[in-house]
Each structure stands twice: as structure tokens, then as C-alpha cells.
Structure 1
Amino acid sequence: MPTPGRTTGSRDDTPRAHGSPGAQPAREISTYVGQERALRAGRLGTAGLLLSVVAATAPLMVVAGVMPTTYAVMGITAEPLLFVVLGVIMALFGVGYAEMSRHVHNAGAFYAYIARGLGGTAGAGASFVALAAYSALQVGVFGLFGFEAATLMERYFEVGFAWWVPALLAVAATGVLGARKIDLNAKVLGVLLLIEVALVVIVDLAFLADPGPQGLSLAAFDPAALAGAGVGTALCFTVAAFLGFEQAPVYAEETHRPQTIVRRVMFLAVGGVAVFFALTSWLMSTAAGPDRIVANAQQQGPALLFALTDPRLGSAFTDVLHVLFLTGIFACILAFHNVVARYAFAMGREGLLPAAVGRASAGTGAPALGSFLQTAVATVVIAAFAIGDDLPTGDPTTPVLRLFTWLGNIGALGVIALMAVTSVAVIAFFVRRGATRVQAGRLVCAGLATVGLGVVFGYALADFDILLGADPRSALRWALPAVVGVAALAGVCVGLFLRATRPETYARIGLGNEAFQLEKATGDAPAAPTTPAQ
């Protein structure tokens, strides 16, 4: 039986003149092809959205992985200052990005903003970059998850199996959750994130109460400590800690008040992440000793965190930290999975992917097919790496040094590029609307963000071999970044094809829900289908 407000077989949502008998409220039809292409609105409030996006930052993964790696590879003691600098750059980006979110509500976020500012072809190129970048980030983290899960099983239960076994189990669990209601996902992510944050706070307090031999030194915030270091490359290592806050507009269609909530969440996330990680990296430095942190990180790698907590909080707490490190990784995977599914949904809705991908689940209002496609992609990629892995069980080379590192850096590079181009698009959008004077402050921030992000992107591209830990002569240093370029080229080609063959579809790129509302107002909405929506 059809339910009230839902699309039925004949789908009586044909546009009517305003005030005509039987006219439906505009809010019941969210997209130009009807309710089956609408994400379920009103699912998320401020808390749910904040937890969903911050979960992608994976606090324990950053503290245990990113921080020691940056100390070790860059050989600098001023890592806390890097988080402050990057926080400023991200905040500058967030000013224009947040303002844009008040004018454009689209699950395609990055590419929708770029399309509205720089045109449909640029938006199409950005859509494929976003899809590839976030997919790479999500699939790469499965490698780290699989390795850590296999290591824990070996350590605590003396059960040995290959890394890809728990990785594929995590793929299945993520696929199931990804097709469910977003508020359910928010609850799962929220619980895991709050536990992670609580554990890191306990660690911070332990480091604060029992610092190393040099006490609570502020040397880590001395700009002179960055002298001789490739600051841009160092920022590339820490940029992964911030990936997540930019996802807030992706959920705009599913929030209660997107004009207010999305902007609020972005600034809470940026500010919170910058302060939290700057403080934690500083306390990690004081726990080891500013003059010893680099050497200890080079010797112990990701084990540094656990080596510092064990004498202060005991082995039982360290064991809990290991387990929650794993659940934090899963939260990160789920957060990225949800973003990829929504980008695919938005692209299907606007003709950049097959139309079926842009159809929401009738039961959950979630982008179920987009979720299924990302699950399939993850399965295929993990299987490919597993087939090529002939190393002994417990060797991190394939799951961590290849799958996680390679795909993680591809994804981070793509997101940095999207941020930089989006900042340009923000400027173009408001200049075109004649709002230069009104938005002057925000446009200056967007310009500064473009410069900052452009510098980080340039260093990341030039020093990609360092990010990979590969030989400078390795083909990987250009082959892996080329993935971002190929994705952009593919999207541009699709955009040009649509402009030449389906101009009406091309004109909708970036419009999302607005396309139907505009057509409804002018009486040009497409005819209803003759077959029931599935």
C-alpha cells in the first residue's frame, strides 16, 4: 500500500499551478524526479552531524599513526605548531565554504559548489575526483583495520589469519550499516567517537601529570623549530587529521536546518580538531621529552603511543587502547563510506552516473545503491591486494605500507585539490551574483585559503615519494597522483558529452533539489514515469 507523501505507481506529482486543487507542499518533493530520489530530511541535528563528520578524523588513528609518523619522517619537534597552522588554513577555507553551504544544499557538496561557481564541466570533473578521493580514503583504511585486527587476534588469542579476513568482514558490516538510516549510523559513530575522545583525554591527562625529564616545555610551539624542515611537506602529513569537517555539507539534505547547522558544525569541527590535536601532540612530545620525541618515534613508530601510556596507565589500559584503536578505525571507515555513497547518489540524480544510483531507499531514505557500489569497489580492491600478497601473516607491507599508504595519500591529495578549487568557485559564485561588497570578508578568506591549500597541494605533489616512503625514482611518485588527474579528466569528458548531447541534464549539474523546484515553478518539470518506482 502506498504511504502518505510517497511516490506511487502513477506518481501524482505532476507540477500544478500554485494554489490549484490538490497541490502538494513543495517540501514533499525534493528532487526533479520525485520522492524516490530524495534523501530523508530531518534525520540529523547538530550533535548527530558533528559526531558523523568528526568520526572521520579518527582521533586514535591520528594520535597513534599520524603524529609519530610526522615526528619520525620530518624529524621536527614543532608538530603541535603544524596543527595550529593547518587549523588556520582550514578555518579560512571554512569561512567561504560555510557561506556557500547556506546557498546550496546538495549531497554533492564539493562538486555542486564548483559547478555553481565555475560551471557544469568543472563540476563534473570535480564530482569524479571527489568520488575517487573519498573512495580511496575509505578503502585504504580497510588495510590498516585488517592488519590491526589480525595483530590483536594473534596477540590476545593466539589465532593467526591473514589481514584481508577481518578487512572483508568489516566491508560487509560497513555495507549493512551504510544502507540503513543515517541517524542509526550517527548513533554508532557517536558512541565510538566519544569513547575514542575519552581515552585520548585520559592519555593527555596522564602525560600532563607525568611529563618527561624536561617537564612541560613549550619548545614545540617555537617557530624556529621548523627551520630546515619542509613545512609544506610536514603539513601534508598532518592534513589527514582534518579530513572530515568538510563532509558536513554532504549531509545538508538530511539535517533539520541546513542553513544553520552545517555552518555551525564545520566551525566546531575545525576548531575542536585543531586544538585537540595540537594539545595532544604537544603532550606526547612532553611525555617523551622534546629532545627525544623524534628518535623515539623513529624507533617505535605507531607503537610510540602505547609505549608512553603503558608505564603511566598500566598494561590493562594499554590493552583497552589497542582495542578501541580498532573500533576507531572502523568508525572512520563508516564515515567515509557514507560520504562516498552520497556523492554517488548526487551524481546519479544529476545524470553523471546511471540514474539508478540516484534513487534513495524507500524504507530508509538512504542512498542504498551508492552504498552497495562502494561496498563492491572495496571488496574488489581488497581482493586484488590480497591476491598479490605473498608475504607472511603479520607483515604490514601489503595492508599498511601499500593499501593504506598508497590509497590514503591519493585520497588526501584529491581532497586538498577539491578544497583549493572550491575556494576559487566560492569567489566566482558571489562575484557573479554581484555580492562582492557584501561578501568581501569571506572572499578574502577564500582567496587566502586558495593560496594556502595551493601551497600544500604543490608540496604534496612534489614530495609524494616522501609521503609514500618510496624511492624518489619510483614510478609510484607520479603514477599514484595521476589517479586524481585521470578522475578529473574522466569527469570533464562526461560533462562535455552531456553538454553536447543532453543539455537539459548538463544544466542540472550542481542544482540537486533545486532543479525540480525551478522546473515546477515554470511548469517545465519532466513527465511522470509510467511504471511504478521501485
Structure 2
Amino acid sequence: MPVTPKSSEIPRRGTGPAAGPPTLRRATLGTSDIVFFVVSAAAPLTVMAGVAPLAIMLGGVGAPAGYLMAGVTLAVFAVGFTAMTRYVRHGGGFYAYITRGLGRPVGMGAALLALIGYNGMEIGVYGLLASATQDTVTSLWGADIPWLPVSLAGLLLVWYLGHRSIDFGAKVLGVLLLAETGILVLLAGGVLLEGGAHGLSADAFTPGNIAGPGMVAVLAMAFAAFTGFESTAIYRREARDPARTIPRATYTAVAFLGLFYAFIVWTVIQAYGSDQVVQAATDDTGGLFFTAITTYVGSWAADLMHVLIVSSVIASLLAFHNAINRYGLSLAEEGVLPAALGRVHPRHRSPHVAGAAQTALGLVVVLGFALAGADPYTELLLWVNTPGMIGLMALQLLAAVAVPFFFRRAGHTENIWRTTVAPAVAAVLLAVALWLVATNVELFTGAGTGVNITLVAIVPAVFLAGVALALRLRRSRPRLYAGFAAEPNE
């Protein structure tokens, strides 16, 4: 039977400079700042221009409804998740929530899954940065540049931005996010002013189109497009009035992404016409958005969109980098990762050691793929991103399952909708979403069966490794185990 330590024996987190070493900058981020981090991680412009054409090609004109359905599912999930934010004051994000509901072994499995998931989502995107930059340079100037220097420059830039203070990063992301959403709004405005190719139509939302055979693939892509929205809780220690800020940021991010994605995809369908858009997407998947904005706004706007896709990718990299650093900081404070990763910069108040370590890991992976002669998009991006995406979806599912178990034991004043019904519905829907992505993984990787099985298998393997680590710590280091995911003031 494990030994439960006295509360005085559980390692503490400092509450400010006077309590010891520097800590994260408190009460810095408002709702809009956290929304910038979350939405930037999703990279709306990249998702729309790079993935939505494939969704249209496979799912037809009903594709916009797929994004709405994914948004509704995640909004239902947010009901229970945000209810828990009033009771869980830990800064460790999802793993703390999962630990409170499902126990320390599952919580530690979730913690390792979060590390792999966020690292996979970020490091793979350095391949996308290289590919997008190559395409932009070729499109604008007709030049061909090697991909590795671009990825290395991205690593350096993201490290520097993450090294700076969190409010500095929020300002950078705010500017980049406004720019990438602005170009999509410009496209939508041009289409609406012209009335589309054959007039505006609501065909995308008719039952026949929504129930089309390709909607399974669309739903898989739609859920993937929201990856990273759950990271609101990671910024708890830096948020102003987190009990209010985090729920507001979560709902705002989900609502914005769901409505914005659906609106932009519907707009592009209008640009070509419901009877011609699928063929247009099939003929030129990568150029669908660029052709539309050239037609309805001008070639200058297409050139600007090329540039803004690069900045969109940089914003996504920075958002995931910041999330990873805070997970690393928290797990270092728990004693699960080396204590050095828990150091905070005395001036910028950033987890700078965790940031440097994450950048070093990214450098190793990027150089490894480069030395192997891999393609930056089809291999570095897709192969590294895929297990990261599946891992984060699995975290969402575990968090939804954890909510009713937590409230069954905790004293609370919440209603049954928030504590039981919504989390249960969300768990079922998220399980379906995870199944859709895992069984349609070839849409994301373009790889063979062997590669796909390996990439999917990474997720349960990492989770089980975390569970095994927890069971080992329970025997060998009971004090550390008992203090895992403990409240700061316990």
C-alpha cells in the first residue's frame, strides 16, 4: 500500500519572486491573449488553403457542415472541461484534470501523451514551414531553395520568441492571427460582393449533402483542424482571473474556429458553384483558394496569401512551442522530468530551459529527417504530425471521461448537465472522432499500411509507458507519486 505523505512533505511551487526562484509571470494573459495562442496553434489559413480543398474533393459541398459538427462536439466537451477549471487550480493542463478524475496512473500516461502529442504537432510543422516557404518563393520569384535552412531558421526564430515573455508572444501571435484571418475574410468578401459563380446557395447544409458518403473523411479532417484548442488550461498560472478567463477563452476559440472554418469553406464553394467546386478541387487541390482569391480579389491578394501562409505556420509553431514549454515546466516541478527544465528566466519569466530543450529536440528530429533524405512535407510533416494529432485527440477523450468521475467525488454546486450529461455525450462523440481519424489515417499520411499502423500504435504505446512509469514510482518513490498533480496549496 503506497505511503501518503503529509501535505508539508509534498513539493511546493513558488508563488512569486519572494518565495524563491523566479516564477511564470502571473495575471498577464486576458481572454483575447489566450484565444490568440489557441487559434494560432490551429493555423486557420493553412488549414483552409491546404486541407479544406481535400475535404471538398472527398466530401463534396457538404464539407462546411463537417466543420460545424466538429465545433459542436468540442463545445459540448468544453461544458464539463470548463466546469472543472473552477476546482482544479493546477497549471499542468489536461493531465491534471485526468489525474483528478481517473487516478495518477492514467494521469501520468496522459502527461507523457501530452508531451509526445504537442511535440509531434510542433516539430512536424517545421517541415510544413519549409514546404510552404519553398512554394511561396517559387510562386513569387521563380526560385528554388533548399528546405533544411528554412527549417533551421524557423527553429531559431521560434526559440527566440518563446524565450521572451508570454505577453510579447501574445502580441506577436495577435498580429499574425489577424493577418491570416484577414486575408480569408478578404476572399470571402470578394465572393459575397460578386454573388459567387452562380449566386449564393445553402446547398452545403441540406441533409442529402451532409449525409454524403465522403463525410466520414470530412469529419476526420474537421476534428484534426481544431487540434490545440484545449491548451487554454496550460496558461492558467499566467491568466488573469483564470476561473473566468479559461472558460471564456475555450468557448471563444471553439466557436470562432467552428463558425469561421464552416463560413470560409462555404464561401469557396460559392466561388466555384456547387456543381463545379468538387471538380475544381480535384483538378487543382493546392491551388483552389489561390485561384478563387485571384478571380474575386486580384493576383496581388494571391501573392499576399502565399506570404501569409508562411506567417500562419510560424504562428502555429510558436503557439505549440509555448504549450510544450509549460507542460515541460510543470512535469519538471512534479519531479517526472529533470529539475533543470523547471527553471524560469529571471527577466522574461519564461520556461527558457524547457524551451531550449524542446528546440534541441526539434533540431535533432529535423536533422535526422534531412540526413535520411526525407521530404519535408510528405514525411517530416505528415509522419511526425499524425501521432501528435491522434495523441491530443486521445487526451480530449480521457479528459471528457474524467469529468463525471471527478464530480462524483468532489463537493460542488454544478448541475448534472455540466458534470455528467455533457461530458458523457462528449466522450461518445470524441471516441467516434478518434476512431474516424485512426481508421482514415491514410488521408493524413499518404503512406502505406505498415507506416500507418506504426504511427497510430505510438499513441497507446506512449500512454501505457506512462502508466507503467506511474506504477513503478508508486513502489519506488511514493512521495513523488503521491504529490503528482497535487494542488499548489495542498
Q: Name the TM-score class by shorter chain.
A: over 0.9
Q: 2:51 aligns with which of 66, 72, 80?
A: 66
Q: Aligned partners of 2:454, 2:194: CA distance in 1, in Å?
A: 46
- The one-letter amino acid of 2:273's match is G
Q: Deviations over 1:177-212 (max 9, x none)?
A: 112110000010001001112111111111112244
Tell me which residue corresponds to 1:508: 483
Correspondence 1:100-499 to 2 at 5 A: 100-229=84-213, 231-389=215-373, 398-435=375-412, 438-471=415-448, 474-499=449-474
Superposed displacement of residue 98, structure 1: 0.9
Change (3 A) 1:175 1:412: same
Tell me which residue corresponds to 1:89: 73
Report the more deviating stretch, 337-346 or 359-368: 359-368
Correspondence 1:17-96 to 2 at 5 A: 29-30=14-15, 35-36=20-21, 38-72=23-57, 74-96=58-80
Rg bigger for which structure? 1
Q: Aligned partners of 1:91, 1:198: CA distance in 2, in Å?
A: 24
Change (3 A) 1:438 1:317: closer
Contact 2:25 2:349 in 1 (8 A): yes
Superposed displacement of residue 434, structure 1: 4.9
Change (3 A) 1:381 1:29: closer
Change (3 A) 1:117 1:189: same
Change (3 A) 1:37 1:93: farther
Three-state SS of the structure 2 residue aligned to 1:29 is coil
TM-score, normalised by the number of residues in structure 2: 0.93
Q: Aligned partners of 1:264, 1:167: CA distance in 2, in Å?
A: 35
Superposed displacement of residue 268, structure 1: 0.9
Three-state SS of the structure 2 residue aligned to 1:78 is helix
Change (3 A) 1:439 1:30: farther
- The one-letter amino acid of 1:68's match is P
Aligned length: 479
Contact 2:121 2:389 in 1 (8 A): yes
Q: Aligned partners of 1:104, 1:297: CA distance in 2, in Å?
A: 46
Q: Aligned partners of 1:422, 1:200: CA distance in 2, in Å?
A: 33
Contact 1:199 1:321 in 2 (8 A): yes
Q: Aligned partners of 1:101, 1:441: CA distance in 2, in Å?
A: 12
TM-score, normalised by the number of residues in structure 1: 0.86
Superposed displacement of residue 448, structure 1: 0.4
Superposed displacement of residue 230, structure 1: 5.1
More helix by share: 2
Q: Deviations over 1:6-33 (max 9, x none)?
A: xxxxxxxxx8xxxxxxxxxxx99339x9
Q: Aligned partners of 1:202, 1:361: CA distance in 2, in Å?
A: 40
Q: Aligned partners of 2:325, 2:458: CA distance in 1, in Å?
A: 20
Superposed displacement of residue 36, structure 1: 2.8
Superposed displacement of residue 389, structure 1: 1.8
Three-state SS of the structure 1 residue aligned to 2:335 is coil
Calculate percent identity across the aligned residue pairs.
35
Contact 1:45 1:255 in 2 (8 A): yes
Unaligned runs of 5+ in 2: 1-7
Contact 2:79 2:422 in 1 (8 A): yes
Q: Aligned partners of 1:359, 1:372: CA distance in 2, in Å?
A: 11
Change (3 A) 1:322 1:250: same
CA RMSD of aligned residues (A): 2.0
Superposed displacement of residue 355, structure 1: 1.6
Superposed displacement of residue 112, structure 1: 0.7
Q: Aligned partners of 1:28, 1:282: CA distance in 2, in Å?
A: 48
Q: Aligned partners of 1:208, 1:343: CA distance in 2, in Å?
A: 43
Change (3 A) 1:37 1:108: farther
Q: Aligned partners of 2:270, 2:96: CA distance in 1, in Å?
A: 44
